[in-house]
Amino acid sequence: MEPSQLARDDAVTPVSDISTEPISFREAFWYWLRLGFISFGGPAGQIAIMHQDLVERKHWISEKRFLHALNYCMVLPGPEAQQLATYIGWLMHRTRGGIVAGGLFVLPSLFILIALSWIYMAFGSVPTIAGVLYGIKPAVTSIVIFAAYRIGSRVLKNPWLWLIAAAAFVAIFAANVPFPLIVLIAGIIGHFGGKYAPSKFAIGAGHKAGGKALGPAILDDDTPTPRHALFTWKRFASVLAVFLLIWLAVMGLLIATFGWTGTLTQMAWFFTKAALLTFGGAYAVLPYVYQGAVEHYHWLTGLQMIDGLALGETTPGPLIMVVSFVGFAGGWTKAVFGPDALFVSAVAASVLVTFFTFLPSFLFILLGGPFIETTHNNLKFTAPLTGITAAVVGVIVNLAVFFALHVLWPRGMHNSFDWLSLLIGLGAVVALCRFKIGVIPVVFACGLAGLLLRLIVA
């Protein structure tokens, strides 16, 4: 759904019709719930929806404050759109507002993905569904290639950054260097590059105000910072302590129940680390998830990972929600509660993975938000982040190569080449790059093509 379809009308609300009365928690609750069901389009589309709703139509927050919050969320690891919703919800209604806004951004997607994951795991071998998935796999490979192209065209502005991207690709593809180490090295290179060659590691303008006369907002440019949003070291320490206690309590319960090597315990630990590495969006951390979930823990296969990414692309919410599918597949495959309770095992693992993936996002907002609101200085991307983002391009290309190898040689490199998958994939690339067709229509069209081809071949 396009953002323009979500507003009652495309025009900015007249200044005379704007109310600056505080928004009730109940009204905000229903808005965040609605947003959770219609937040398609990836982070750009989700941010556009919130900007149109909250800045232009509802006037809950001024554009300057909206962009100030967005710039902070863009610097953080994690899904920036979900964090932006958490930030605005917290700014309006304290901690409970942030938890409700960020939680409802994720929960609808979680429930939908659990249902789709169950259909996939239980009926994925049914010929009709298998045919649809046959067409979706090359589409997802094309989507990842398109993501690498889109990010690369925006980031790789000079030979230095191209070299970092190429080195990252070689490191993870040929030497199997762990993704966290690549991020660390790229950040160090960016730090020194920004110090000794600042022009090579400068960041573009980023998000700018549109310049519309939007009128006053409830949280306007000159609205005093709410008392709960003022920074104090006492509050900083208490928020950090609460989150650490929550994390330690759940991890301690898992260790006491299943042991350190238990599947659920390892999922909690792995996705805690993954949540801290999502610089550059979900596509940046997917190679790390692939390395761990597919190659190390064997929670699912490479082809299942591709299918899970397709499901994540076609549901509302942040794309990183694909990890809930990974958890579902891992809980089902490992039968953590026994072979007679596969669905319960899968749901428990899916919920657990989602919890540990998004817990740091809430921490970053509730911990850092008061400092950002108190300073109100414009945040800028740092040179280390430039280096990391350049490396991310190479890592995403590596992910596309892995996907392509699995799709085009489904039975291994020594077996036959799948020309039909190649044709579907090329069609998806043309649709995405040349005709700018959205991801969801491309996935559905390729799924239909796969079904028809399977019926014809059969």
Q: What's the pLDDT tens digit per position in 109-162?
A: 999 999 999 999 988 767 787 888 888 888 888 888 887 887 788 778 899 999
pLDDT at res. 391 = 86
Residue 216 is assigned to a structural domain of this protein: no
- Residue 357 and residue 314 share a domain: yes
- Residue 133 and residue 40 share a domain: no
pLDDT at res. 11 = 44
Query: Which pTM was predicted?
Result: 0.75
Q: Which two tokens stand for residue 333?
A: 């495959």
Residue 214 is assigned to a structural domain of this protein: no
- Residue 143 and residue 263 share a domain: yes
- Residue 292 and residue 401 share a domain: yes
Q: Which residues contact 16 (CB under 8 A, 6 or more apart)?
A: none
Residue 215 is assigned to a structural domain of this protein: no
- Residue 80 and residue 194 share a domain: no
pLDDT at res. 423 = 94
Residue 217 is assigned to a structural domain of this protein: no
Answer for the pair 422, 138: CB distance below 8 angstroms, yes or no.
Answer: yes
Residue-number span of the structural domain to which 88 is assigned: 3-104
- Residue 139 and residue 16 share a domain: no
pLDDT at res. 316 = 84
| Total count of domains within the chain | 2
Spans in the chain with pLDDT lower than 50: 1-20, 204-212, 377-381
DSSP-based three-state secondary structure for 211: coil
- Residue 372 and residue 339 share a domain: yes
| Measured distance CA(38)–CA(57) in Å, rounded | 17
Nearest to 91 by CA among 139, 50, 123: 50
Nearest to 72 by CA among 386, 370, 397, 388: 370
Nearest to 41 by CA among 443, 448, 438, 452: 438
pLDDT at res. 205 = 37
Question: How many C-beta atoms surround the C-beta of residue 158 within 10 A?
Answer: 13
Residue 208 is assigned to a structural domain of this protein: no
pLDDT at res. 28 = 94
Scan for tokens 């942030």, then name that residue.
98
